[in-house]
Every structure is written in structure tokens, then in C-alpha cells.
Structure 1
Amino acid sequence: MTIKKLFTILTLGFSITGASAFSLRADSTEKTKNDYEKIIKKSTLQREGVLNVYESEKKWYLEIPDTLLNRYFLTVTRLIATPSGFSMYGGEKLNEQTIYFEKGNAGRIFLRSVDYRQDAAEDDAIFQALEKSSQHPIISALDIKGSNEQKNTYLVDATDLFKKDNPVLSLANSIKTENKLGSLADDRSFIIDMRSYPINLEVQTAKTYSTSSPSVAVGSQTFTINTSMVLLPKTPMQKRLSDSRVGYFANKFILFADAKQGSKAYNFIQRYRLEPQEKDLAHYRRGELVEPKQPIVYYIDPATPKKWRPYLIAGVNDWNKAFEQAGFKNAIVGKEWPESDTTMSLEDARFSVIRYFASEKANAYGPRISDPRSGEIIESHVGWYHNVMKLLQQWFMVQVGPLDKRAQKMELDDEVMGELIRFVSSHEVGHSLGLRHNMGSSSQTPVEKLRDKAWVEKHGHTVSIMDYARFNYVAQPEDNIGLAGIYPRIGMYDTWAIQWGYQYLPQFADAFLEQDFLIKQTTDSLKSNPKLWFGGEGNGIDPRSQKEDIGDDSMLASSYGLKNLKRVVDNLVEWTATPNDDYTNLKDMHKAVRSQFNRYLYHVLKNIGSVYETEKNRNDAGAVYSTVPRAKVKSAVAYVNENVFTPPMWLYPQDIQQYINKDADKEILDQQEQMLNMLLSPGMLHNLYLKSLSAEVAYPLEEYLADITSGVWTPTVTDARVNAIKRSQQRYYMEKLDQLINPKGSKDNAVIGQAERSDIQLYAMNQLISLQRTLQKRATSSKAAIDKQHYEKMLNETRRIQQNKNK
């Protein structure tokens, strides 16, 4: 269906209440005309632009043309300067709203806020009902102080609109609540400046709030804030309806139609407007590369250290190869901020900027500001925290240290750090272009290929920069793989996703007609190249879609990762040494090593009890949901047995312990108990049991329990410390088995209750009986007195558990 008019004046900008209800009183015309002349005459500042600005007698006025009434403005409020210790930084967004001016009653101009959630065609009867249930709120009523009949303009006093607190043009309420900000101090809040440009108004204010934060001694905090009001296109860009098989950020709306028996939800993606010039349209249609009418430009914050700017710019420009697949050359460019141009402002919502924050946070992010009617991205302010470099250094040493000498120190060479900055820049810019994470992309590369020097250096270790696939930790030193096969890069998924979102399709009159073409295009692409799979954010049930992992086999990839991690531990004291260091580096990096060990473990664990989930269209072959095969889950249990239930003493060598004194035994035991809690939980066992009943490829519960028992009850070794940990682990296992066979007080939990009423108790009892035979043999054969006592006690415990079950 073709939508001729977007609901709530989205295209043409008509008031839903009707212009006649808001006509000005005739007897006020002469007075407002005289006030206009008086105010203009006394003004000490006049600026022309989309809205003319006047400062007169310490008040600020806006001149609103009649032609801009009911036209949409996107307002973006950002911090310029913040108090020390505040949770946000200069350049970060405080608020975003779409607004419009409307001629009101009693000589006023109303300012309304727009919330686009529902839509209908204007020639459908249901459109009338939708209008009556979706009125936009009035956020301010501005008195008309004067008018100019020749120019058809209205002069309003905007001083209080920007000076006072306002939920649309000031700090969002959630930010004030989070930071314990109270009321606005009117005597210490004021407008600093207003500047008007052809399509936007820029307003700088200083605002002082009371605060109840105990860290603020004076009881108030002052912020310098900028609000941009950008005029949106009169005719919005055509929407592009989203496809769940391609990862784009999207806006949602509900469509009502007379011809349908119910409403339907649609999503449309966020993307920049990228179009060929008219003279190049024929060339574009023939498949030739053309330059766009308006390229996408990202400026680098002048607060960025100069040595990192070229790498941030390179991270932007790297996307050009992706846009070439969409038919555009020189579509995106990174530039240094023109500091000599005083007409430009970093806070101006017309400019996309990579902002640099002097922050202890180790992070970066890539947001977008978009037109709510169409998803057109207006601008983006990528946030770059200074301490992201510390995180990069840790990742590089922990994952790549054994592969490259340049990673074997705390302060990386500028060239190396620059290249790390470059790939993070590409990732965040990808978000700002509209792309979501694709945490499943790394699973499309076979683990064996990650060790193939020629292959991985040519293709990269993941098909998408939008994954959290930091480095190729699978590669081993003997593979001699260079950085081209270790660093992430823009890959085939990224170029395909950009093509899907940014290809210019003028032959389709609306988004619904275009959708049929795009669905078929996506289906054909995925059929010919399954590696283009979009795996989502990594928060679901599919073990192929995880954060920080690589390769198509979590167990094999993690095993290779552990080999490198053990090499890192062997060299950590040397690699972390710096002059006058008090072993803080060693503590920090050992913590990073422990975290990496846990990442590998949890990549493996997600294979247990999970299913594969693949978004499908009706035209796609194969199932949406399928069970993880037995071999994969069995391999996951084997990994836990080998690397957790066998105490990982290598993580705590004496040459490190003598400087950091970690409680190794407690950390190991805590993790072992955590694993038993998860692996032997009634919910997990019930899940596995049901899968084994419904899928032939599933892991039988009896075999699963036997494999875990085998890992826990491995024979003692010569290391007394290891044996002590194993005995404690085995006692805890017996507690978990007792809880399965003799549950207490868990009937209020529906899942646990179902598990307890299932056959799981029978399987647990069978495991207990099997374990009795093992314990009887070991109690007899053990030579060490303490081992013999332990096995005899555990044997008695099995009898007690069995007796309690029979009561």
C-alpha cells in the first residue's frame, strides 16, 4: 500500500486541530506591529538565518516566518562544559526531540513536541480516528510580541524558553535524577549566545542546578549547554523497511489501514541520505561508481591528540570500500576540524564529529541523530574516551602477546596503538552509519582457517568489523601470522550491509513497493553466501553469536586461546615491568588474564542447553531453530572438565603470586562451585532432558551426567594442593546430587518444580549408584590415608542420600 501522507503532519505539516481555531485576534494586530518596530529598533544584536535572532533590552527574540509554522525542527541539546566529576562530558547528548511551531490562540505561538508512533493513509477513514487519539503535547506557549506583515513573520520572546528549565530543550529528567540535580537557579542561569544559520539555530546557555550529591561541597553545579534546532526536510526521505536478516538500527511505527483486519508494526532503518547527482543518475543505473550529492563527513575533535587524528580519520575513510558496493565513490570522508573557521561549532547538529573525552572510562560509542519520520541520519557525535587505549593495550597483550613482540610491553609504540585506534574508529563509525553489532559474524570463519597464514591475512579473521572479535587469539606463534591476519577489518558482511541500506532505488514509489525487491535480494544473497549471516547482539540463545569470541567452534578456539594465555602468564612479570612500577601493572594485567580465561570458558558454556537461531524469510531454506548437536555439547563439557574441574593452577604461578598474593584456592573453588551450580541445576538438566526427547542429535542426559561426574571424580595426583581442591570440589558435587535426589522447598519455582516431577531424579539416582561402585574401589585401593578417609566418607554420604530418597 502507498502511504500518501504521513500521520501527524509528518510530510505537509498541517496542524491536527485546524488553523482556524488559532487565528490571531484582530484587535491585537496594530499593537503587535508597533511592538515589533519598537523591539527591532532597540535591538543591539541582529542575526539572520532560518529564524532571525534579535537581542533587545537583555531579552532574546526569534522571528518566525509564516512559512515555517508546522515545519519540523530536530532539537539536539549537548553539553559544552561540565562540572568536575560529573558523569558526562562536553560533547555528549543530553536531549533529543522533534518540535514544531504552531499559530495558537490569544496572540501566541505554541511549541509542540512530536512523538511518531502510528501512521495511516490520509484517504483511509481510520486516519480520522488516528488523528483524534494522537495530539502532540504543547511544551511552551510563546507570546507574540510583534509581527511584520510584509515579511509574514511573528516576533516571539524566547528568553524563558531557553533560559529556564525545559524537558525538551534542557537536561532530560532521567539525567537530572541520576545525578541528583534539583531545581534550576534562575539568578545563575542565562543565555550566552544565539546564532542563526540557513537551516539551524544554535543557542548556548549556562544553567545552574541545586544538587544533593554528597560529593559537591557548594550544593550546586553549573553546566554550559548548546541546543541545536535543525530544520528537517519538508519532504522526508523515503523510508527503508527493515529486514531482520540485516543488522540496522530501526525506528518502529504502527500502521492502520481500512483494508486490513488489524494494525501491523513496521520498522524502518536509520541511514544517511545518499543520492547520486542528477547528472550521474544514468551512470549510477548502469552500475558505474558516482559521487553522491552530499558526502558523509566526520570531523575530528580538535581536543584529540594530534598523533591519533590520522588513525581516526583512516577509520572513517575505510568505509569507502563498503559504499562502493552501494554504487558510490568518495561517499564518506574524515577531516580535521577547521579551527580557524569561527562560524563552525562542534555542538552544531549539522556536523558529525568524533568527540574526544578526557575520561577514565575505557570505552567508545557511535550514536546517531535521525529524522523520526524517515530514519534519515542528520548527524552523529561518536564518543571516544581517552582510556579506551588502556583497554586496547590489555587486549593486545593478553590475546596477541605471544604472536607479536610489539604487544609485549605496557606502553605500545605509537604506530601499533594508532592501528588499534583505527579499527575501533571503524567499528564506532559503523554504528553511526546505522549498523548494529553482528556478534555472529566471527562464527562464519572455520577455526582451522584462523591458523592458515595466507588465508587469514587475505580475508581477515571475521567477516564483520561490527563484531566484538578483537584479535585472532587462535593463531599460534609457529603460524607466523602477521597483523593483517590478527587485526579486525571491514569485511564482506559490512560491505553487503552497506549496499543493502544505502543503494539508491528511485524506481520504487514507496517503502512497501521497495520492500519486495529488497527481500528477494537478501534471500538470494544469503543463499549464495551464507557467511553474510546476521547474528545479532550476542544476547540471545545462539552459541554462534557471542561477544569477544572467534571461529566456528568455541571449544577448539578457546583451547587455542588458552595455549596463548599460558604463554602470556609465563612472561607476565617481564612484560609488565616498567621503571619504578610497584607491581600495579602486574596486578592489572593478571586481572585481564583472568578475565580472558573466563571469556573463553563462557564462550564454551553457551553451547550447553542452547539452540541455534537463524532469522528466516519464507523463501529461505532450513529451520529457524535447531538443536546444538551432541558432539558440540559433549565437547563443551570436556572443556570444563579439563580446564575448570582440573584446577587451573597455571593461572597462579609462584613468580606472580609473590608480588600480587591472590587467594588462588578460593578463586578456583568459587569457580568450580559456580560451574556445578549451573551444570547440575534442575533447570539446565530439565532443558537438556527435553531436548534429548525431541531431537535425535541432542546430548542424552545420562551421558551428560556421566561426563560431568567423570570430570569431577578424576583420581588424585601427586600434587597435594590440587588433591585438596579436588576433594572440596567432590564434596560440593555430592551436595548438588543430594539436592537433585532429595529436593527441598523449591516447588514455588515452576521450572524447578517441573524438573523435579520429571525423570531427572531417576537419572540422578542412577548416577549416584554408579558413583558408589567407583567410591568403593577407591576407598579400598587408595594409599594416602586422607584420600581413603575422603572416599569412605563420600561413600557413606551416597548411602545417606539413598536412604533419604527411600523414606
Structure 2
Amino acid sequence: MKHIITTCLFLIYTTGFCYPTNTSLQGNKTTVQNSDLVPFITSLIEGNQLYLEIPRRILNQPIIFVRYDNKYDHKYMQVIWSKLEDKILLKVPSITSTAGIILPIKPKLILSDNILAIFPIEKAKSEGDKYRINITSLLLEQNIPWSQGFSETAVPQISMVLDSANMDKEVVIKIRKGVLMDQAKISLPMYFSFCALGEPMKARPYDFRMGFFNEKLLDIPYGVENRRANIMRWRLEKDDEDQAISRPKNPITFVMSPDIPKKWRPYVKAGIEEWLPAFEEAGFRDALVVKEVDSLSEWQAHSINTSVIYWGDSLRLRGSEFGVFGGTVGTIVDERTGEILKGDIYMAISREEYSERYFVKSAPLDIRAQKFPFPDDLLGELYQTMVAHEAGHVFGLMDANFGKFSYPIDLISNVDWVNTMGHTPSVMNYTRSNNIAQPEDSIPPSLLIQKVGPMDHYNIRWAYTQFPAGTSPKEERAALELIIRQQDSIPWYRYDYGGHESIGPARMNEVIVTRNPVKSTEMALKNLKRVVELIPEVCNDQKDNARLERLYAKTLEVWFDQMMYVGSLIGGYDIHYKSINQTGNMYVPIPSETQDDALDFLFMNAFNLPEWLIRPEFYKKIKYSTFPDKLLEYQQRLLFELLEAKRTKRFEYLESLEGYEGALPMYLTKLQYGLFNDLESLHSSVKPRNQELQMTYIEKLISMVQQERETITAARKAFAYSDYTKGYIMEQLMILKDRIQNGLDNKKVNASLGHWHLCLEKLNTI
């Protein structure tokens, strides 16, 4: 689902191995109720100065240094404390991954460690094997390089240390730090922690054919390459290794923030527990625990031991009633192995926004959605699916493109199929609710909403299955490969990273992806027309037209997503990630007849629009101008997509395959003919919208031909048109010029005369 960060998903990677403790506040000092502690770092505050006592036994031992601020991405780094003469050094080491690779301090920098800070030992106050240091300036004044490119300007004058808590193998510090934000001085509450790392867990190697994050998200490019890396996953170990299904020694535990309204808590819990059967398939019973608490201390919330489900604060801000859609997560991961130790979920979606998005998708199929506000049971189900999606991220799974372009369209309307398989194979897909079933199919409303699906079970089984003691690495690799090879016979087990190129239907989002995109879209458009008819009724009680305009705008957005989905067939491929020793190709071209059908569909439905979409009855009451015309923008964006360089390059490649000879010129000819079919009936006027599309097309082709050669570096030519394509584009411009000129010369054109002269004038510039 789209996140507040849309697409930037904030996933944070740090490490730690600590134990929770009970804390209480006494005045301005935090005390910890904990006995028999193994000596770890302790903190104390004197005045506005923060001191740490560093035991000798933890010197040169791996520690995690974490920052929690007003962002969702808990910043982190692995550090070590060391002693040099009368100073204590805080160092950032390079990390040796169990995948057999070193994670450098900075890319391509060969350096065993870097000094982050140097602290004089407070000799007068150091006792025995403990060294006291003052770290106030590190937290309040220093610009700590949390990640590549991170920078902030500190404002020490409005910074102060507030409190700290000493816990078993963890110390948490609370401050207010002044920073410069948009040229304003802002004092932000922040928490920092130092936490000890335990023994590395047994890792699972990264495989590009599965949809898991690696231990350091931005360190390697995702795609069709297996670099040395470990996937992100929790340390789940069977309590009874002799049992096929056993409870884990330490289940994955979430705490629901007390600010989650009580009426939504059962749905939040259910969103997590949807994953329980998937973990059972991996051999773990009761692998997930969700706790409801009446209070949650700031120290517990900012401990590496507590994974919290938050209710978004942004929902209380003015202007957040609409447009806030989705959630995000913050995970803390041991980069040595990929072990996830903390996974926070942030629910940040407004009731109104979620309701309206569901309305334009599924209101014709769900009577509960035909009146605002939605009943609590429907909204609760929507919250549940959002939590289930975010939980997938916390378990290590990536977004989107899980098992798409695999379900037969006829089965999406089959109640038994949908009840078992869902309308999409994974809750991680950006598929939303079912909008292609028809009212007469009588799909129960509860089955319209996304759920944890068969591919989610498959992924968890691959990532979390624990192999019996004595299993050799070779045997383990073979067993994991057997699971992956199930993709050969079960297409909805296939994963596709996606990247930045929509090379086929499996990479499309916001639509129900079936094996028949044209038919799917035809069915979706029927429901979209029903939605437009419902809009006035659900807005009758409003004192303004804001809801009506929002619903219409969201309807147009759904329409555009569907058109892009059909367009993905053109020059597109069916995708199945494979290693070189697997039979068959990774990219199988969409049949040429299917591509032709898709282009015909776009001519009929995208470039010649029905009146119910352009000018619904209700819109006449509130419009006074053609400005702004969002629908025209969508049409132009679709046209640009059909002409993008990446698509023409795919057509160039297709021409080398049997059955696709001459694919590029045939495609360009058909596209131009369809856009200018008005030239076949020159006595008829060209609709204003079509005039703008035709001129947009001409200007785009001219810019393609006139594109300068900026580089010869292959990797930088993604948006560069080849000379081969330019030649065919020039040919199309010449043909179009001749057709228009002949029509004018022979006086066959007596309608939209000015438009055709403008087109000709533009064509004469090249």
C-alpha cells in the first residue's frame, strides 16, 4: 500500500540484544528496579551534563548506538568503546557480516574503524574498572553522521539533557536538541540509547528470487543479482527442536500503544495474528504475541527490547483529515546477521481518507461503504489489512509485486477461490480492495479486503524454517533451493522487485493484477461508472462540495491506474526470476496479439473518453472552467508513457525474437493512426481534448528526434532514444505531415481547419 513515505519506505537497521526492566520516575531522576545486573554502561546527570561510566569489560565489545527523534527512521550505528592512554574513544568499526563480506564504514573505504568522538577520562570520579566520561557535547552539539548524506545544524543554546534510565545491558537518554529546520530554530525531543550486542544468530543468505530486505537496505542494489548478504529476519528458535511444530523460545512480541483507541485494538491485533498460520508452516506455533497495555513508559517505548504499534500523531493535526494514507515501520537490525530486534509499526492514516479510497474501489460491492461515515466494523477491517501489511515489513518482506499476473480472471469472482486464495496472492502487494468482481457475483464484503495470502505463507516458510541439528550447509542450501523452485510450477509464488521500469503487468500497482489485464480493466470500469453514480448520494449531507471533488479526483486516479495497467502489456513481458541453471527465460514477451488488443483498448477507453467520466451530471453544478483538467493530464501522461525511451528499447529488443519482427515500426504506425483517426473523416470536427492530445503527440515526437547525444556511456542512456528509433519516429512525422497537407491541398478538410494548420506549422519546424 502507498505509504506516507510513498514510496520511500523508512527501514532502519541497527542491532542489539538487551532485556527489559521496570523503571520509575522520582522527581527529575529515573531509577531502575533491577537486580543482579551484569555491569554495563551507566548514566548520571549533574546539572546539564551527562556522564557515562564505561566498565573495562565492555571495551572493544560491539555496542549499538541509536537515535529516536521525530522521524520514523530510528538512526543507528554499531560502535565500540576503547581506551587510549587517559582517553576513551568512541569508534565506528567496519562490520564483518556472517555472509562473508565486510560492510565498510563508507562505500569503498578500506578502514577498520573511524573515530566518532574522544572523551577525557574524569579520573577523580572514576572508580575501579569504570571510566567516567562526559558525553554532553556529543549529543547536544555534534553533527553525528548517522547515514550517508545525513546532516543537521545543531543549536546548542536551546539544547539540554533531560533524563536517563539505566537498564540491563542498555542505557537510554532523553534530551531536547536544538536544530535548524527550514531556517527556524526548533528544539526537538530525542532519545539516544547504547545497547550491548549478543552472539550473532544463524543467518539466512539473501536470494534475489525472494522478496526480502537484506541486512543493510541501501548497501546493495536490489534486482537480479545475488550479492553476499543476509536477509532481515527475527531470531526464531524452536523450544523443542524434535517437534515439527514448536513454540519459539522467544516469540516476536508487539505492544499496542495505549493511544490506540480501544475499539480499534482487536483489529490491530488481528492484523498481526493474520500471520500466525504462515509461521506455523515454518514450524512455529504461537510465534507472535500482541500485548495490550494501559500505559507505556517512555523508556520502554525507546528500548530496543520493545516493538510498539503506534497510532499516528499526525492524524490530530489540522489538514491531516485527508491525504494521510498508509503506514510505515522502523526496524532495528543486527547488520552482522540480519537479525531484527525491534520493529515499530506506525499507523498514520485518517479515517476519512481510508474511507474515501475504499469507496471509489469497492462501494458498488459493499453496501456498508455506500454511506459516510463508514461503520466501525468496516473501518476496523481496513485498519487490520494496513497493520497486516506493515507487519510483513517488520518480518523482513519488501513491498509489491508478489505473485502478480498469475491469478486467472475467472476465479477472482469465485467465492471459494477468493475465500482460500484472496484476490491477490500477498498482503504486501499494492492491490487494495477488490474492484473487478461484479455485484451479481455476490462476493461477501469481508472477502473484498486484502488479507495475508498464499505467497506470504510461502515467503515466511522459506525465511524462517529451522533445519534440524546436524543439517549440513549443503543440505540446507538444497532444501531452500527446493522451496524456491516451487515458483516453476506455482506462478503466484514468483517475486519481482520492480525497480524503475514497468516492463509488464507484474510490476503494476493499485490494480487487481490478473492474467487478463484488458478484461480486468473492463470489469473495473463498470464498477467505476457505478461509483460515479453513487457520489452525489454520499455527498448530499455536506455543506460544501469538498467531499464530492475529492471522490471524483480519486475516481480519476483509479481510472488512470487501470489505463497504465493495460498499457503495461505493450512492449511488456511476463517475469519469472531464475538462476542461469534453470530452464527457460526470465522475461517472456507478451504475445503480439495481446499487445495489439491492449492498444485498441486504450484508443477506445483512454483517448476517447465516455461522457460519464468527463462530465458527470453532478460536476456541471460546480464547474465554471475547463481548468484544471486532471483527466487531460492523465491522458497526456499515458501518452508519454507509451512513447518513453525504455519502451522503445524493449520493442527494439523484441524485433530480434521470432514472431516479433518489425515490432517497433508497426507499433509506432498503429499508435499514430489511432491518435489521428480524425484524418479519415476530415469533414468532422476534432474534439478539443483530442486536439490537445494530437498536438502533445507531435511535440513529443519532435523532441524525441531532436534529442541531443549527451553521453555514450551505456549505463546513463536509459532516457536516450536510439538513432534506430529516431529514424522511425522521423518517418512517422513525415507520414503525418503528408496526410495533413494532402487533406488541406485537396480541400477535404473543412472542419477544425485551424487545428490542422497549427499541426502542420508545428511539423514544418523539423
**TM-score, with structure 2 as normaliser:** 0.82
Query: Does the 8 Å contact 1:440/1:546 carry over to 2?
Result: no
Tell me if 1:516 matches 2:477.
yes
1:601 match = 563
1:112 match = 91
Tell me if 1:786 matches 2:765.
no
Tell me if 1:143 matches 2:123.
no
Query: Does the 8 Å contact 1:442/1:549 carry over to 2?
Result: no
Tell me if 1:66 matches 2:56.
yes
Once the two structures are superposed, residues 179-201 of structure 1 have per-residue CA deviations (whole angstroms, 9 ceiling, x without a partner) of xxx33325x43322221111211
Once the two structures are superposed, residues 145-198 of structure 1 have per-residue CA deviations (whole angstroms, 9 ceiling, x without a partner) of 35999x962131334256533444x98796654xxxx33325x43322221111
Query: Does the 8 Å contact 1:747/1:753 carry over to 2?
Result: no
Whose helix fraction is larger, Structure 1's or Structure 2's?
1
From 173, 180, 185, give the equivalent of 2:156. Answer: 185
**Alpha-carbon distance, 1:394 to partner:** 2.1
Query: Does the 8 Å contact 2:63/2:78 carry over to 1?
Result: yes
1:576 match = 539
Query: Does the 8 Å contact 1:108/1:143 carry over to 2?
Result: yes
- Aligned-partner SS, 1:251: coil
- Aligned-partner SS, 2:434: coil
Query: Does the 8 Å contact 2:413/2:437 carry over to 1?
Result: yes
Name the count of aligned residue pairs: 708
Which structure has the larger Rg?
1
Structure 1: distance between partners of 2:263 and 2:218:
48
**Alpha-carbon distance, 1:103 to partner:** 2.3
From 267, 270, 274, give the equivalent of 1:318. Answer: 274
Q: Residues 167 and 272 of structure 1: is their aligned pair in 2 closer, same or farther, counting only changes over 3 Å?
A: farther
Larger relative contact order, structure 1 or 2 (CA cutoff 8 Å, min sep 6): 2
Which structure 2 residues correspond to residues 520-539 of structure 1 after superposition, within 5 A? 520-537=481-498, 539=500
Query: Does the 8 Å contact 2:564/2:638 carry over to 1?
Result: no
Which structure 2 residues correspond to residues 737-752 of structure 1 after superposition, within 5 A? 743-744=705-706, 746=708, 751-752=720-721
Structure 1 residue identity aligned to 2:116: I
Once the two structures are superposed, residues 550-607 of structure 1 have per-residue CA deviations (whole angstroms, 9 ceiling, x without a partner) of 222322222211111111112211123334x211101111111111111111122222
1:429 match = 391
Structure 2 residue identity aligned to 1:577: N
Tell me if 1:348 matches 2:324.
no
Structure 2 residue identity aligned to 1:267: A
Structure 1: distance between partners of 2:699 and 2:147:
51
Once the two structures are superposed, residues 105-144 of structure 1 have per-residue CA deviations (whole angstroms, 9 ceiling, x without a partner) of 2x2222212342678989x9xx9xx999422112222333
From 239, 246, 253, give the equivalent of 2:210. Answer: 246
1:102 match = 82
Q: Residues 57 and 506 of structure 1: is their aligned pair in 2 closer, same or farther, counting only changes over 3 Å?
A: farther
Structure 2: distance between partners of 1:173 and 1:631:
48
Query: Does the 8 Å contact 1:253/1:265 carry over to 2?
Result: no
Q: Residues 739 and 57 of structure 1: is their aligned pair in 2 closer, same or farther, counting only changes over 3 Å?
A: closer
2:517 match = 554
Query: Does the 8 Å contact 2:97/2:336 carry over to 1?
Result: no
Which structure 2 residues correspond to residues 721-740 of structure 1 after superposition, within 5 A? 723-727=687-691, 729-730=693-694
Aligned-residue identity in percent: 22
**Alpha-carbon distance, 1:372 to partner:** 1.4
Q: Residues 161 and 703 of structure 1: is their aligned pair in 2 closer, same or farther, counting only changes over 3 Å?
A: same
Structure 2: distance between partners of 1:322 and 1:421:
20
Uncovered stretches (5+) of structure 1, i.e. residues with no partner: 1-9, 12-42, 80-87, 256-263
Query: Does the 8 Å contact 2:648/2:725 carry over to 1?
Result: no
Higher alpha-carbon deviation: 408-417 or 718-727: 718-727
1:83 match = none
Tell me if 1:231 matches 2:231.
no
Higher alpha-carbon deviation: 342-351 or 673-682: 673-682
Q: Residues 777 and 669 of structure 1: is their aligned pair in 2 closer, same or farther, counting only changes over 3 Å?
A: farther
Query: Does the 8 Å contact 1:300/1:353 carry over to 2?
Result: yes
- Aligned-partner SS, 2:456: helix
Which structure 2 residues correspond to residues 388-467 of structure 1 after superposition, within 5 A? 389-467=351-429
Query: Does the 8 Å contact 1:254/1:266 carry over to 2?
Result: no
Structure 2: distance between partners of 1:352 and 1:719:
69
**Alpha-carbon distance, 1:352 to partner:** 0.3
2:130 match = 154
Q: Residues 242 and 776 of structure 1: is their aligned pair in 2 closer, same or farther, counting only changes over 3 Å?
A: same
**Alpha-carbon distance, 1:58 to partner:** 6.6
2:293 match = 337
Structure 1: distance between partners of 2:99 and 2:638:
53
1:643 match = 605
Query: Does the 8 Å contact 2:125/2:132 carry over to 1?
Result: no
1:75 match = 65
Q: Residues 681 and 75 of structure 1: is their aligned pair in 2 closer, same or farther, counting only changes over 3 Å?
A: closer
Query: Does the 8 Å contact 2:404/2:492 carry over to 1?
Result: no
Tell me if 1:616 matches 2:569.
no
Structure 2 residue identity aligned to 1:432: V
Once the two structures are superposed, residues 429-470 of structure 1 have per-residue CA deviations (whole angstroms, 9 ceiling, x without a partner) of 110110112324232212221122332233210111111110
Structure 2: distance between partners of 1:330 and 1:662:
60
Structure 2: distance between partners of 1:558 and 1:720:
30
CA RMSD, aligned part only?
4.1
Query: Does the 8 Å contact 2:65/2:195 carry over to 1?
Result: yes
Tell me if 1:357 matches 2:312.
yes
Query: Does the 8 Å contact 1:59/1:157 carry over to 2?
Result: no
Structure 2 residue identity aligned to 1:303: D
Q: Residues 498 and 597 of structure 1: is their aligned pair in 2 closer, same or farther, counting only changes over 3 Å?
A: same
Structure 2: distance between partners of 1:654 and 1:146:
82
Higher alpha-carbon deviation: 421-430 or 513-522: 513-522
Tell me if 1:704 matches 2:684.
no
**TM-score, with structure 1 as normaliser:** 0.78
Structure 2 residue identity aligned to 1:202: V
From 207, 218, 232, give the equivalent of 2:177. Answer: 207
Structure 1: distance between partners of 2:476 and 2:218:
17
Once the two structures are superposed, residues 359-412 of structure 1 have per-residue CA deviations (whole angstroms, 9 ceiling, x without a partner) of 12323112311011111111011122142x333212210110111121123321
Q: Residues 676 and 541 of structure 1: is their aligned pair in 2 closer, same or farther, counting only changes over 3 Å?
A: closer
Q: Residues 672 and 777 of structure 1: is their aligned pair in 2 closer, same or farther, counting only changes over 3 Å?
A: farther
Tell me if 1:298 matches 2:269.
no
Query: Does the 8 Å contact 2:231/2:396 carry over to 1?
Result: yes
From 635, 655, 668, give the equivalent of 1:692. Answer: 655
